[in-house]
Amino acid sequence: MNGNTPTILVVEDESSIASFVSLYLKNAGYTVKTAASGSEALAQVAEREPALIVLDLMLPDIDGIEVCRRIRQESDVPILMLTARDEDIDKIIGLEVGADDYLTKPFNPRELVARIKSVLRRATPDRREHDNEEIWHGDLHVDSGRREVKVGDEEIQLAPKEFDLLWELLDHRGLVLTRDQLLERVWGYTFAGDTRTVDVHVRQVRRKLGDASPIVTVWGVGYKVSPAPQSQKEAAAS
Ligand code: CA
């Protein structure tokens, strides 16, 4: 009946916000389901996987972080988290729950729709135009087809946006990319977004890759990739 319009699950216990968001998304052409608690959200996701989930952080039973974590054990469905406070965004990213994007309340509903469109566009199977490319950088090996990152023989788990950010920088070796450019290329924003998102993700990538991280800060400009160092194997052979 709904044809091919993507279904969005809105998880929010405050009914005024839930109905406002639902109305806006319906007007934007989406089919909308709602859930007023974490357990209801998990049940709905299991029953019929939505195209995207808008997930509020503060819920009456299971909080949004835990809901996100449980969904991620089963599914790669895109998740956009809503938070009441700015600091919660650092928390969500720091806890690595695997959300695709974040918005702080109060938000402009047009921005919500823009972000949803962008996340859905990125989540389609042809999300990367450079399928099956591989890049080596010292001991770091990144395979964009498998979306796999290894340091030596050890596989490193990156969240989707962390992977895209790392790939974007490696794919532009020798160039400095500004935070705005990275926002646009990795997150797909066509308007001025929050560039702090870029910094937080860079921090996560560096923490996970340790000494193998190729990302260099260019103060006042943005980020670039360092020249490729010799790998451990090459060093051992020479
Ligand atoms: Ca809430």
Phi, psi dihedral angles at 180 (to 5 degrees): -65, -40
Domain with 195 in it: what CATH number? Answer: 1.10.10.10
Is 140 found in the same domain as 65? no
More confident position, 100 or 224: 224
More confident position, 107 or 151: 151
DSSP 185: I
Is 151 found in the same domain as 108? no
**In the predicted model, what is the mean pLDDT of residues 27-41?**
95
In a domain, 238, yes or no: no
In terms of residue numbers, what domain contains 144? 134-232
Is 167 found in the same domain as 103? no
Ligand 1 mean position to 160 CA, how many Å? 25
pLDDT of residue 189: 61
101/108 Cα distance (integer angstroms)? 15
Is 53 found in the same domain as 107? yes
Tell me the pLDDT of the chain averaged across its residues. Answer: 85
Ligand 1 mean position to 28 CA, how many Å? 23
Is 95 found in the same domain as 147? no
Is 32 found in the same domain as 63? yes
Is 155 found in the same domain as 83? no
DSSP 144: T
Binning pLDDT at 50, 70 and 90, where does residue 227 land?
confident
Is 161 found in the same domain as 103? no
Q: Of the candidates 123, 157, 189, which is a domain's last residue?
A: 123
Per-residue pLDDT of 45-84, as tens digits, reads 988 889 999 999 999 999 999 999 899 888 888 999 998 8
Ligand 1 mean position to 102 CA, how many Å? 14
Is 117 found in the same domain as 11? yes
Q: Give the number of other Cβ atoms within 10 Å of residue 87's Cβ.
A: 9
Residues constituting the chain:
238
In a domain, 237, yes or no: no
Is 139 found in the same domain as 114? no
In a domain, 185, yes or no: yes
In a domain, 105, yes or no: yes
pTM for this predicted structure: 0.58
- pLDDT(191) > 60: no
Residue 200, amino acid: V
Q: Of the candidates 89, 123, 157, which is a domain's last residue?
A: 123
Binning pLDDT at 50, 70 and 90, where does residue 39 land?
very high
**In the predicted model, what is the mean pLDDT of residues 12-40?**
94
Ligand 1 mean position to 203 CA, how many Å? 28
Per-residue pLDDT of 120-174, as tens digits, reads 877 765 444 555 688 889 999 999 888 999 999 999 999 888 999 999 999 888 7
142/165 Cα distance (integer angstroms)? 12
Question: 111: which residues sit within 8 A by CB, 6+ positions away?
Answer: 103, 191
Is 97 found in the same domain as 25? yes
Neighbours of ion ligand 1 (CB under 5 A): 13, 56, 58
Is 119 found in the same domain as 31? yes
Number of structural domains (the chain) is: 2
pLDDT of residue 190: 52
